[in-house]
Amino acid sequence: MEDVIVLGPSPGRGHLISMPALPPNTSPPSIQSLKTISQTSKVKAFIIDFFCDAAFEVATTLDIPTYYFFTSSPSGLAAFLYRPTLHIKLDNSLKDLGNTLLDIPGLPPIQASNLPDNWKDRTSKVYEYSLYAATHMAKSNGLVLNTFDLLETKYIKAISDGPCVPDGPTPPIFCIGPLISSNNQNGDDHECLNWLNSQPNRSVVFLCFGSLGLFSAKQLKEIAVGLEIIRNPPPDNEKDTNLDELLPKRFSERTKDKGFVVKQWVPQVAVLSHDSVGGFVTHCGWNSVLEAVWCGVPMVGWPLYAEQRLNRVVLVEEIKLALWLNESEDGFVSATELEKRVKELMASEVGREVRERISILRDEAVAAMKEGGSSHVALTKFAQPS
C-alpha cells in the first residue's frame, strides 16, 4: 500500500466560539475517514492543529502517529505545554490574578494578564477544551512549528529540554518556517501599492490588525489623529458604520498625499516588502510577525486577542524586534502615544537598533528555508519514513 500523510482540516474561524462542542460532533466522521483511507493506504502520520484536537484520540485509537501543527510562536507553545502544570499549581483563575507574575520555563516572568483570555476562567468550557488540547499535544508524536531555529532559540530549547512537560517526555520539535504565502491574490495591481510607489524609501508606517481586529469609533478617530495610514475592520463587517463616518471630517481627502486609507483587503506581504514601508504597527499575530521578519520591517506591538499579548512581551523584551505601545486599562491607545512610538521606531537610536536586529533575522529566515538550511533540514527529517 502507498504511504500517505493525512492532514486534518481546521474549522473556520466561525467555530472559535463553539469549539467546546466540536469533540462529540467530529469524532465519528474522523474515525470513518481515517478507516476509509487506511483500507487503501498506510497512514504514516496524521497532522492536526489545536482546533482539531478531538481527532487526537481518534487517531490514537487507530494507532496512527499524530502530530500537531502549532500555528503560533515557540514561546506560546512553551506556555501552552506548561498549562496543565499551571492548572495544578494555581488555585485561582488567571482572571483573578491581574498582573501577578508567573514563572513558565524558558520565558521571562509573565503577568497573568498577558496570557490568552481563553486560559483565564477555569470554570469555562473553552478553558477545559484548551487544557485537554495541551495535554494531548504533550502526548503526540511531534510538534511542527511555523518558525525557524534562530528566531526564538531560547524557547525552542526550553521545550526540547523538557521542563515545559515535567511529567513526561517532550515530543520532538520540527521548525519548518517561516511559511509565507506567495499567493498575492492579484495584489500587484492594488491601489495601495501604486500609492506606495510614489513615497520615499522607508517613509511609510503600515497599520494592520488581522482579520478579526476591530476598534471602536473613538479609537479609530484617535488612530486617524495620531498616524497617516490606518486600516478599518475586515470586509465581512461591512454592515457596520461606514469608515468615512468614523474618521475626522475630510480626513481621507486631507491626507491623500501623505497617507492612504484602505477600506478593503490589502496584500500584506507585498505591502511589507515594498521599499517605501519602514514600520509596521501590528496586533502581533504570529503570521504577521513572521511576514514582518521575512520582509525585514520593524514593529510596534498593539495586541488585541488570543496569544498576542504574550507574543508582544517576547518581541519587545526578549528578541527586540518591536517597540511597546502603552494602553489604558480598558485597552485604549491615545493618539499621542501612537505618534510617539511610531516616531521612536522610525527616527531614533532605539528604532535603528530594532531595524538592524530584524534585518539580521531576515537574512537568517531566508537562509533557513534554502536547501540545507535549518527549516529545510527539519522538514526533510519530518517527512522521512520511520
DSSP string for 193-249: HHHHTTSPTT-EEEEE--TT----HHHHHHHHHH-S--B-S-GGGTTS--HHHHSST
**What are the grid coordinates assigned to 150, written together?**
534562530
Task: In whole angstroms, give the CA distance from residue 156 to residue 148.
Answer: 10
139-143, 158-162, 183-187, range with the lowest pLDDT: 183-187
Query: What is the structure's pLDDT at 5?
Result: 86
355 touches 362 (CB < 8 A): no
What is the second-level CATH architecture of the domain 2-175?
A: 3-Layer(aba) Sandwich (3.40)
Query: What is the structure's pLDDT at 239?
Result: 42
Q: Which residue blocks in the chain are alpha helix, DSSP H?
A: 22-40, 54-61, 74-81, 83-89, 125-139, 153-161, 191-196, 217-226, 243-246, 251-254, 268-272, 286-295, 308-313, 335-347, 349-369, 374-383
Query: What is the structure's pLDDT at 16?
Result: 46
The structural domains of the chain, with segments of one domain joined by +, span 2-175, 187-368
Query: What is the structure's pLDDT at 19?
Result: 46
Residues 248-301: pLDDT tens digits? Answer: 555 555 555 555 666 667 899 999 999 999 999 999 999 999 999 999 999 999
Query: CB atoms < 10 A from the CB of 71, how many?
Result: 19
| Residue 96 pLDDT exceeds 90 | yes
| Residue 227 pLDDT exceeds 70 | no
Query: What is the structure's pLDDT at 261?
Result: 61
CATH class of the domain whose range is 187-368: alpha beta
Q: Residue 165: pLDDT band by 50, 70, 90 thresholds?
A: very high
Pick 80 or 51 by higher pLDDT: 80
Q: Residue 384: pLDDT band by 50, 70, 90 thresholds?
A: confident
Using CA atoms, how far residue 203 sits from 23, 142, 347, in Å, is: 49, 43, 10
Query: CB atoms < 10 A from the CB of 218, how many?
Result: 10
| Residue 36 pLDDT exceeds 90 | no
Residues 340-362: pLDDT tens digits? Answer: 999 999 999 999 999 999 999 99
